[in-house]
Structure 1
Amino acid sequence: MTVPLDPLDDLTAFRGVAAERLGSFEHETVPDKPGLRRAGVVLCAVEHDGAPAVIVIKRAYRGRNAGQWGLPGGRLEDGETPEEAALRELHEEIGVRAGPGDIVGRLDDFPATSGFSITPVVVVLDDPGPLTPSPDEVHSVHHATLRKLAADDTPRWVPQPDGGRLLQMWLAPQWRVHAPTGALLWQFREVVLLGRHARVADFVQPDWTRE
């Protein structure tokens, strides 16, 4: 009897599970309002060192979000959909080309305190090719394995003075990722990797993410 491959350890198996779970997930869209700006980002799953992983970047130490952890992506240009913007930025920022057929679904829009509504698009690529990060936008490129994202000790919740809790996604000893990016990774973990229903729009964001 053939043993099914674990989607946390096999990219092909992950693609099938991700498409199924995102296909039944009713994502929420932030409604238009005056002053709202929109952005698209990519949760890009690839194989790295023999294991499926999501590409995470550290922003260049200049301009908006200097030095922060993030996902490839950026604001929509005139006439673009969030998916089109996300794929364009994936190529512009780290040199990876993906098409509409590589998208397996999307998660909830995240209303960032910076005034952006961020749409996360999930992409699976068998062969992303060489990564060529743009030095103007990206300081470094990293890979967070699906198994690490799914681990029990990756999300940590820090109590806040107002009674709320601040999420920190600890992807490595020095990788402490907060919302918005941390929230997107957490929903990806819950919905896509673990098959749970989860929303993130009300997650606390650090003050320094308001830029």
Structure 2
Amino acid sequence: MATPLTRFAYDERLRDYARGQLASFERIAQPLGDLKAAAVAVVLSSYDGLGSVLLTRRAKSLRAHSGQWALPGGRLDPGESAMDAALRELEEEVNLLLPANSILGVLDDYITRSGFRITPVVVWADRDTRGLKPNPSEVASIHSATFSDLAKDHVAKFHVNSDEGTEILSLQLTLDQIFAPTAAVLYQFREVVLMGRDTRVAHYDQPPFAWR
């Protein structure tokens, strides 16, 4: 059954509902240790007047993870918070400038195989984002994943990595099959905000192509 949020038009009711879901969620932070701190922006935007999440295709010219699906984001600058980094990366990658009060909440940290601690910051964009211009040195194209697509039954796919005994997570969206770490963040957003479930995703693995 569709949740109330998937039926909302992209308006203040949706924003307030999402903020409330995130406020009641007790996020889990991971120690940084020797990891590199990074943040991604889970941007709630409008697609044909309904809720969606902004996704990007990384530029093929990038040395790491070229051509892969991603959320806007990157490493924290010295002294920078994850929230500030997420907003900065949004402006740098897709030319979307948003104020600090657009932040709705934060999901669990996710540690990648390549040595990053990713902090997902959920952000409200008060506009339709389909006219955004990507920074071609970082982003090849900008896309949207609708809430109705994310909320579909059986959208999550789980594959056993028999070599290491771990479980790899992907999402089968209309856009494409998207793998962790991006899929892990999107799946937790789906579970916490769309479905009202405190689902954890830190234990889900990435396929080798996503981190080598």
Provide TM-score, normalisation by structure 2: 0.91
2:10 and 2:45 in contact (8 A); partners too:
yes
Name the structure 1 match of 2:39: 40
Per mean C-alpha deviation after superposition, the further-off stretch among 163-172 and 103-112 is: 163-172
Matched, 1:179 2:188: no
| Structure 2 unaligned regions, length at least 5 | none
Amino acid at match of 2:169: L
Cα separation, 1, equivalents of 2:165 and 2:66: 29
Cα separation, 2, equivalents of 1:202 and 1:187: 12
RMSD (Å), alpha carbons: 1.6
For 1:47-196, what aligned pairs fall within 5 Å after superposition?
A: 47-62=46-61, 63-127=63-127, 130-161=131-162, 163-172=165-174, 175-196=176-197
Give CA deviations for 1:48-96 in whole Å, capped at 9, x if unaligned. 1222110001100122210111000110011110010110000100011
Name the structure 1 match of 2:30: 30
| Structure 1 unaligned regions, length at least 5 | none
Cα separation, 2, equivalents of 1:186 and 1:152: 12
Cα separation, 1, equivalents of 2:167 and 2:31: 26
Runs of 4+ more than 6 Å apart:
none
Amino acid at match of 1:45: L
Q: CA deviation at 1:43?
A: 0.6
| SS in structure 2 at match of 1:11 | coil
Cα separation, 1, equivalents of 2:165 and 2:78: 40
Provide TM-score, normalisation by structure 1: 0.92
Matched, 1:11 2:10: yes
Q: CA deviation at 1:163?
A: 4.8
Give CA deviations for 1:104-145 in whole Å, capped at 9, x if unaligned. 101001011110000000011122563010000001111000
In the alignment of these two chains, the number of paired residues is 205
How high is the sequence identity, in percent, across the aligned residues? 40
Per mean C-alpha deviation after superposition, the further-off stretch among 94-103 and 156-165 is: 156-165
